[in-house]
Structure 1
Amino acid sequence: MLYPARLPTLARVAAPPAIAQLVRWFWVPQWEIQPGRSSRQHVIPFPACNLVVEGAAVELAGPSTLASYRDLRGTGWAVGALLRPAAVPHFTADPGALRDRSTVVDAPDLVAVVREAGPEAAPDAFAEWLAATVPPPSREALLANEMAGLIDADHEIRTVEDAAGRLGVSVRTLQRLAARYVGLPPLAMIRRRRLQEAAARLRADPSVTLADMAADLGYSDHAHLANEFRTVLGLTLGSYRRSS
């Protein structure tokens, strides 16, 4: 979330062990907006797919290449699962075709169990549905999980070659895993992690110098970070620092 203080309510729930290879976490937003008003939520999405239940619909949101936003109105709630790469092929054979868009998933049984559970128990009901619906991941799918986890957690990884070397596979294998299980190139995954970290640091430490932050995150210089931030988020580093 680019502006977490503006979010009405958001709960993040860890996936239970039985489906930990399928889901990173569940997220449950709840909102109650005054009539005639709206609350715009800006997000730098993770380089991953989300399976979302809201009202009577289930949507699979593909990986995003840009920042996105959602205008909340009225009263409501939803529950989403941030899918690990291993779960993705069960819902789409081509996650790359879903970049920056979503598609409806025909899963009335999932809607039924989630709505019956209500927002507090929705993650548990969602988890039980996934455990009963999605088959155990293959060895390749688990390797894709390892790839995504490595890129997200190891901030020393700054190139595709770095990631391939840490995983012990070729660059071509890494690219193939990312295409089938994520829908984005591995370099885009690395860049997204760096942008998320840059935004988090600007919020947490307004005094940090932009040049120091760029160097810490592996950018060639401050201008490189500023250009990527503006291209993806539509914001300058200075304007985001002031507004957040």
Structure 2
Amino acid sequence: MTDPTRGVLYPRRLPRFTRIAPAGAASALVEWFWIPQWDLPGGVVSRQPVLGYPAANLAVEPDGVTLWGATTRASERELRGSGWAVGALLKPAAYTRLHDAPSDIVDTHIALDEPGLQQSVSAAMPDLELAVATVSGWLVERVGPPTSDARLANAMSDLLMSDPAILRLDDAAERLRVSVRTLQRLAHRTVGIPPAAIIRRRRLQEAAQRVREDPEAPLADIAVELGYADQAHLANDFRAVLGLTATHYRADL
């Protein structure tokens, strides 16, 4: 499973946060489950900036169930009081059965009318394993077994989100044994964003993680290692998505 801190821009600010790998049939539908829990003193606000994965999320919270589309920019959530969420980073095989037009909810979300799921998960908490099993069972029943097209979409997502050697669409298409055009159509139909955008997001997440974990590493070296043309290109990518440069991000950690 991918490093649990990737995508979290300021891990030290996190409340209690748990990631759990899917099991059984849910493994074809979910990358991992994520569960934040918080109990903050009155008047305290915890701001959690996140550079989300280029994928959809299902989130069950005390007040309902939400389907979040893939994102093209960083986001921030403010935590107050006490609360929890049981989330699932969805694979395309699950996402396309929960919403038939992924591109329609890029950078936004919709409420799902699933009171039974919400009530069952609420009853399971704070038993995290039981809560995850509840969401897993609901997904498996709701989505069903993946089709051959869904399995190809899963393979595409796994490759683009996890393999640092994939920097160009040609490389990904060759690995998957499809044409570039087929790859582009598949990503639009099952994730909602272009495959090139998925590659850029993974690379920026890796860059942020390197900047965060190795304060002595020259930014120019990080840029070269991750396939950026130069440090300026890395800085521009940071600024465009995060609103600050890699240098400013490092200074703010």
The runs of 5 or more residues in structure 2 that have no matched partner are 1-7
Q: 1 CA distance for matches of 2:60 and 2:161?
A: 26
Which of these residues, 196, 200, 204, is aligned with residue 187 of structure 1?
196
Match of 2:234 in 1: 225
Task: Give the 5 Å matches for 1:126-165.
Answer: 126-165=135-174
Does residue 202 of the first structure (1) align with residue 211 of the second (2)? yes
Name the CA distance, whole Å, in 1 between partners of 2:11 and 2:219: 21
Asked if residue 90 in structure 1 is aligned to residue 90 in structure 2, the reply is no
CA positional deviation for 1:122: 1.1
Correspondent of 1:44 among 36, 40, 51: 51
Aligned partner of 2:25: which letter? A
CA contact 2:94–2:139 (8 Å) conserved in 1: no
Confirm or deny: 8 A CA contact 2:98 2:143 kept in the other structure: no
Q: Which SS does the other structure have where 2:85 is aligned?
A: strand
Structure 1 partner of 2:186: 177
| 1:20 partner SS | helix
Deviation at 1:236, TM superposition (A): 1.2
Alignment partner of 1:69 is 2:68:
no
Q: Which runs of 5+ in 1 are unaligned?
A: none
By how many angstroms is 1:172 displaced? Answer: 0.8
TM-score with structure 2 length normalisation? Answer: 0.94
Q: Residue 26 of structure 1 aligns to a residue in which SS?
A: strand
- Give 1:179 deviation, angstroms: 0.6
Moved more, 71-80 or 132-141: 132-141
Q: Return the match for 2:106 from 99, 113, 117.
A: 99
Note the alpha carbon deviations across 1:163-186, whole angstroms, 9 max, x for none: 111111001110111011111100
- Structure 2 residue aligned with 1:30, among 31, 34, 37? 37
Q: Secondary structure at the match of 2:149?
A: helix
Structure 2 Cα separation of the partners of residues 109 and 177 of structure 1: 32
Query: Percent identity over the alignment?
Result: 52
Q: In structure 2, the residue corresponding to 1:183 is in which secondary structure?
A: coil
On the 8 A contact 2:97/2:143 being kept in 1, the answer is: yes
> 1:37-76 CA distances to partner (integer Å, 9 max, x unpaired)?
2000010000000000111311000000000000000001
Aligned length: 244
> Aligned runs of 1:6-25 on 2, under 5 Å?
6-25=13-32
RMSD after superposition: 0.9
**Helix, strand or coil for the counterpart of 1:179?**
helix
Report the CA distance between 1:139 and its aligned residue. 0.2
TM-score of the two chains, using structure 1 as the length reference: 0.98
